[in-house]
């Protein structure tokens, strides 16, 4: 199930896109050079999961302050807007944590935009890579959220595929054969709209949906983040 909330108008999306491009020198390549998939900001699922061949390794905890300051300087107003929208949706206070990476950007150039449904099919389990030892209260890992704010989409649009299979159900299964589950579970496509904050449980199986109509020069820029409840508030991070 996906909830979408209006956060930015088209002019504001253009402003964010321009600022992302102004910071081109700070994009982190996430594929072998010449890369066409990048992030602006650190991402726990990338930077705490171990090295990838031919892709530079980043130090999540050491480098988070630098990228967080960079993002706050250019996009502080945007993060505050997203934070307010999430607080209204969750009906609780949210906060960022200086030890964790702030929500940041996925950037797909023309060549990296998936044309078919070939992107990773996954649950959002990046929180399992983070050291929560010193946090009190401890996070509630049973009910996370993930969110995407499309800033720029290809000519043919974009969206999310989601299956009616949860991480909890998969974990309880005796035979954890994902391919077998997929043959008997329904898939729903949720189209994205620029400026609309898309919120879902990272514990429903999902993937970036393919886009058949991709034109030269198209880009896919989205703000990405996650949330975990800690007591009476939710911590937002990437």
Model confidence at 35, pLDDT cuts 50, 70, 90, reads confident
What pTM value is reported for the model? 0.95
**What confidence tens digit (pLDDT) does each residue in 93-118 have?**
999 999 999 999 999 999 999 999 99
Secondary structure (DSSP) of 137-169: SPPEEEEEEEEEEEEE--TT--EEEEEEEEHHH
Tokens of 53: 């061949």
CB 198 within 8 A of CB 192: yes
**What confidence tens digit (pLDDT) does each residue in 176-198 have?**
677 777 788 899 999 999 999 99
E strand map for 153-219: 159-166, 187-191, 196-200, 204-208
Domain layout of the chain by residue ranges:
3-237
User: Pairing mode, if any, of strands 196-200 and 3-6?
Assistant: antiparallel
Q: Over 90: is that where the pLDDT of 50 sits?
A: no
**What confidence tens digit (pLDDT) does each residue in 121-178 have?**
999 999 999 999 999 999 999 999 999 999 999 999 999 999 999 999 988 876 667 7
Average pLDDT, the chain: 95
**What confidence tens digit (pLDDT) does each residue in 63-86 have?**
999 999 999 999 999 999 999 999
Domain 3-237's class?
A: mainly beta
Q: What percent of the chain has pLDDT over 90?
A: 87
User: What pLDDT score was predicted for residue 145?
Assistant: 98
């Amino acid at each position: 199930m996906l909830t979408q909330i209006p956060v930015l108008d088209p002019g504001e999306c253009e402003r964010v896109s321009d600022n992302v491009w102004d910071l081109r020198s700070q994009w982190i390549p996430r594929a072998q050079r010449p890369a066409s998939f990048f992030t602006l900001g650190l991402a726990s699922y990338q930077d705490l999961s171990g090295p990838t061949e031919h892709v530079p390794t980043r130090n999540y905890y050491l480098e988070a302050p630098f990228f967080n300051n960079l993002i706050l300087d250019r996009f502080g107003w945007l993060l505050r807007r997203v934070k307010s929208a999430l607080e209204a949706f969750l009906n609780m206070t949210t906060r960022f944590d200086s030890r964790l990476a702030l929500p940041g950007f996925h950037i797909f150039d023309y060549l990296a935009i998936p044309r078919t449904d070939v992107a990773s099919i996954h649950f959002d389990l990046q929180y399992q890579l983070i050291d929560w030892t010193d946090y009190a209260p401890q996070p509630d890992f049973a009910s996370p959220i993930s969110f995407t704010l499309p800033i720029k989409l290809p000519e043919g649009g974009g969206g999310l595929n989601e299956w009616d299979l949860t991480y909890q159900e998969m974990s309880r299964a005796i035979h954890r054969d994902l391919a077998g589950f997929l043959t008997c579970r329904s898939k729903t496509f949720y189209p994205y709209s620029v400026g609309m904050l898309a919120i879902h449980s990272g514990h429903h199986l999902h993937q970036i949906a393919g886009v058949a109509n991709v034109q030269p020069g198209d880009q896919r820029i989205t703000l990405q983040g996650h949330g975990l409840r800690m007591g009476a508030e939710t911590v937002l991070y990437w």
